[in-house]
Structure 1
Amino acid sequence: MTDQIHNFKNLNLILKRIIDEIDVGLHVVDEKGNTIIYNQKMMQIESMDIHDVLDKNLLDVFRFTKEGDSTLVLALQEGKETRNVKQTYFNNKGKEITTINNTFPVIKDGEITGAVEIAKDVTKLERLIRQNISRRGNARYTFESIIGSSPPLLEVIENAKRATRTSSSVLIVGETGTGKELFAQSIHNGSIRSAAPFISQNCAALPDNLIESLLFGTKKGAFTGATEHPGLFEQAEGGTLLLDEINSLNPNLQAKLLRVLQEKTIRRIGDTKDTPINVRIIATINEDPIDAIANQHLRKDLFYRLGVVTLFIPPLRDRKADIPQLAKNFVDKYNELFQMNVREVDEQVMESFLAYEWPGNVRELEHVIEGAMNLIINEDSINYSHLPFQYRNKSKFKEVITSDSAIEQFMLNTAQPTVQLKEQMDMIEKYYIQKVLKTNKYNISATAKHLGISRQSLQYRMKKFNLQGNEGQ
């Protein structure tokens, strides 16, 4: 009996050593889903300590999109055997893991008594593939992704849609934050090139020597350490190359780019032969092209060549009618990201949004809403107290609330400890509207423009506060 026990212990040690030395992950659970075997390789794959997993239920430790995504759970619940199935899930620290699994149930006397999973780690490979896809085909936006229905926006969308029918170069003009790349991706996805690569490069992000080799590629031996490397033009073959902030390229590179557009060929750095290319060029510029030419930021001949189709994206201040729709879209977006349930933007906050000039355009609006939602705890709407300080400090809120010492005096005279905030704010709002009406000789259109709100919004408030005005223009 002693020899048998000794042999059993030796066998146990040998099996444990084999289990920990094999170059695949091994995870075994009992009939209740509790882990009974978990080897070293599986610990490495899942970045877990054995004490975090052993004797614990699988679903208490790991997070799957749904239980059916777990091959071990399928083996336990349905007796299902899977071979070479890719599975993506998360460990208890939220780290994403991707494996290729062979999973099968353990059956005794017709009953499932456990399940075994043998896993190969493909997390790094999956990440590299995603990076490559994002580099070669990161064109997820279409015209349906563009939020807004104001006439200035609809006009540029219509012109952009027409540009999908050809492969002519496109120059997209717009201030920072207006959504130029969104239009570029939409044009690509609406064209016959949509199945081919879409590659985007910010021309201001890299120094001249690097951007040149990145765009045109290098020949082995062209300079010390140079390797055979295709440039972005070659990588985008058959598809679209977006050159963002084209006005940041130096004049010499702009001349080379002009030659590419004219000859439809590129020459790698250090090479002696030209390579034909079939690539559509879309370029963006964040200043008026005429100013850019006058300031020598853009070559005139390149502008004429690039601007076969020129799209001017309106700044947000010129399409304020889209702000409510954009705000709702961003609230919905961050509700999903932050697992929140914010319903709306407070009416007073929306008025300030409509009055503000938005120098950072749509991007600034998104950042303001994201910042506000980071400060919300239990409320279901974004109000003044949630807005980022830098926005409050420069928006119409500051003008409306603090610019007039008379209002400050009015607050001192009327503030009462028993009056609630909303009632006090209504009194201030009424006072301010009365003051602006008087300044504009009770002209509703002029007053609405001064306040930065619509005539309808002003008329609603005048009715609410029983104020009089005239309809003159």
Structure 2
Amino acid sequence: MKDLLISILETIDEGIHAVDQRGITIYYNSKAALLDGLHPQDVIGKHILDVFPSLDRTSSTLLKVLKSRKPIYNQQQKYTNFKGKEVVTVNTTLPIFGQKGFLGAVEISKDITQVKQLSDKIHFLQQTLYRNSGKGENDKYKLYQFGDIIGNSNKILELIRKAQRISQSNSTVLVYGETGVGKELLVQAIHSSSHRQNGPFIAQNCGALPESLLESILFGTVKGSFTGAENKPGLFELAAGGTLFLDEINSLPLSLQGKILRVIEEKKIRRIGDTKEIFLDVRIMAAMNTDPLEEVEKGLLRKDLYYRLNVVTLYIPPLRDRIEDIEPLVLHFIDKFNKEFNNKITGVTREVLKVLQNYSWPGNVRELGNVIEAIFNFKDSGKIDIEDLPGHIVQQGNGDRNLSLREKLFQYEKELIIGAYLGNDKNITKTAEYLGIPRQTLQYKLKQFKLK
């Protein structure tokens, strides 16, 4: 049993470092050794401070837990390992208790170096692009305007009318709708039409990064707040005088949702590790792809945060509920891709338009754009005809009249999965989460549909 447990600990992707009550290492797996640039035999049987001379009893989380016998969760750490490589980890350190009482402590370290590097690049780009927005320096990075929202339906025209009206206020805005309907497009248009249009517009997908990293990105850090921390403003500060857009806000842990609630209510923040408060002039807009009340009922969205965000709520209906918008959207995408591909496609046949209007578009406008773009890769000119369309769209768009129940169920599953896949920009992880199925199941289905 012991050998099995050790084998399991050696295969997982987290570093495991366990010490006894004296601080002597009793277990140190291969991943931990890889992170630190050491070999397990260099560490096992030795005191932490003998192996890691840069640490002391106040900076070592393992020694802190040995002293307090209380856990430390999600502590971010940045350090240079013994091979000179810069490493960023998120550590959870726990006391170990057994039948004989307190036995020692164990630290679990998750390597987020690549994620941190990517987030730093995003942070830098946001700071570079938006610090001077409105000053004529970033014209090629122009944000969307209300004129960029395509559609003639009463639903979309009423949505634009409401959005234009609330663009003149500072109220928080909550936008929701299925994936691919254009939530960020609408939020950018509101910002571009507001008195904040010359201030920065900063967007952050809350589901894209781990909690500990996202907190430092949002709130900023001061030097010494954790090992390797630097003085760096967060996105709340970078968005000063403008708009901060928090997408997928319901994916945040409830504890971090509470901190964002306080920022909205008090209009001030503290960087991580700082005691000084910074007052903010930022408009907060948020979005999610599910009904916010359902998220509240599921316990995924704090009720108090929902009520604070729900000053203005805008719902973007799915494309299947506004089929009169399909034709202008198709013409828009044809014009767009003619310019990008240097093609000469003139439109679609009536039969194609009817099929497109009968299809359910689970990936919404994004899926429609992806379908049109795919056609441009194989067609140079003329009108888009029925044979140019993907088979699953033609089948469903024609009503599937002659299919058996099993065939219809298979076709519906295929259409739903492919639509979600295209609507999530062919991202396996996001599509699997959206559909609520394992990644392996999605990959099998895509292979079955000859998309992978």
Output the TM-score relative to the length of structure 2.
Answer: 0.58
Residues 228, 163 of structure 1: alpha-carbon distance in 2 compared, 3 angstrom cutoff: same
CA deviation profile, 1:134-186 (whole Å, cap 9, x unmatched): 68745521111110111011111111111111111000011111111111011
CA distance in 2, matches of 1:156, 1:384: 32
Counterpart residue type for residue 403 of structure 1 = L
CA distance in 2, matches of 1:172, 1:257: 17
Runs of 4+ in 1 over 4 A off after TM superposition: 128-131, 134-139
Mapping 1:306-385, distance limit 5 Å: 306-377=309-380, 379-385=381-387
Residues 211, 237 of structure 1: alpha-carbon distance in 2 compared, 3 angstrom cutoff: same
What's the CA shift for 1:318? 1.1
Partner of 1:133: 129
Aligned residue for 2:224, secondary structure, equals coil
Mapping 1:432-443, distance limit 5 Å: none
The answer to whether the 8 A contact 1:136-1:198 is kept is: no
Partner of 2:397: 396
Aligned residue for 1:331, secondary structure, equals helix
Aligned residue for 1:350, secondary structure, equals helix
Question: Is residue 144 from structure 1 mapped to residue 147 from structure 2 by the alignment?
Answer: yes
What's the CA shift for 1:403? 2.6
Counterpart residue type for residue 309 of structure 2 = L
CA distance in 2, matches of 1:333, 1:134: 26
> What is the RMSD computed on CA atoms of the aligned residues?
2.0
Counterpart residue type for residue 396 of structure 1 = G
What's the CA shift for 1:296? 1.2
Question: Is residue 195 from structure 1 mapped to residue 198 from structure 2 by the alignment?
Answer: yes
What's the CA shift for 1:389? 4.3
What's the CA shift for 1:132? 2.1
Mapping 1:289-308, distance limit 5 Å: 289-308=292-311
CA distance in 2, matches of 1:289, 1:135: 32
CA distance in 2, matches of 1:215, 1:384: 48
Question: Is residue 275 from structure 1 mapped to residue 278 from structure 2 by the alignment?
Answer: yes
Aligned residue for 2:164, secondary structure, equals helix
CA distance in 1, matches of 2:167, 2:128: 25
Partner of 1:110: none
Residues 195, 346 of structure 1: alpha-carbon distance in 2 compared, 3 angstrom cutoff: same
CA distance in 1, matches of 2:175, 2:156: 14
CA distance in 2, matches of 1:262, 1:130: 25
The answer to whether the 8 A contact 1:373-1:386 is kept is: no
Mapping 1:437-452, distance limit 5 Å: none
Residues 358, 305 of structure 1: alpha-carbon distance in 2 compared, 3 angstrom cutoff: same
CA distance in 1, matches of 2:127, 2:263: 27
CA distance in 2, matches of 1:251, 1:337: 43
CA distance in 2, matches of 1:130, 1:303: 27
Aligned residue for 1:273, secondary structure, equals coil
What's the CA shift for 1:297? 1.4
CA distance in 2, matches of 1:130, 1:301: 29
Mapping 1:53-452, distance limit 5 Å: 132-133=128-129, 137=133, 140-377=143-380, 379-392=381-394, 395-397=396-398, 399=400, 403=403
CA deviation profile, 1:399-457 (whole Å, cap 9, x unmatched): 15x5389xxxxxxxxxxxxxxxxxxxxxxxxxxxxxxxxxxxxxxxxxxxxxxxxxxxx
Bigger RCO of structures 1 and 2 (CA < 8 A, at least 6 apart): 2
The answer to whether the 8 A contact 1:218-1:229 is kept is: yes
Q: Percent identity?
A: 49
Aligned residue for 1:343, secondary structure, equals strand
Residues 300, 136 of structure 1: alpha-carbon distance in 2 compared, 3 angstrom cutoff: farther
Partner of 2:89: none
Partner of 1:17: none
Aligned residue for 1:399, secondary structure, equals coil
What's the CA shift for 1:386? 1.6
CA distance in 1, matches of 2:153, 2:232: 46
Counterpart residue type for residue 387 of structure 2 = S
What's the CA shift for 1:325? 0.3
Aligned residue for 1:260, secondary structure, equals helix
Residues 129, 299 of structure 1: alpha-carbon distance in 2 compared, 3 angstrom cutoff: closer
Aligned residue for 1:206, secondary structure, equals coil
What's the CA shift for 1:398? 6.8
CA distance in 1, matches of 2:284, 2:304: 15
CA distance in 1, matches of 2:261, 2:126: 32
CA distance in 2, matches of 1:356, 1:202: 29
Partner of 2:444: none
Aligned residue for 1:156, secondary structure, equals helix
Counterpart residue type for residue 386 of structure 2 = Y
CA deviation profile, 1:377-399 (whole Å, cap 9, x unmatched): 4x411112222345446x32471
The answer to whether the 8 A contact 2:203-2:245 is kept is: yes
CA distance in 2, matches of 1:130, 1:206: 16
Residues 399, 134 of structure 1: alpha-carbon distance in 2 compared, 3 angstrom cutoff: farther
Residues 229, 156 of structure 1: alpha-carbon distance in 2 compared, 3 angstrom cutoff: same
Residues 360, 129 of structure 1: alpha-carbon distance in 2 compared, 3 angstrom cutoff: closer
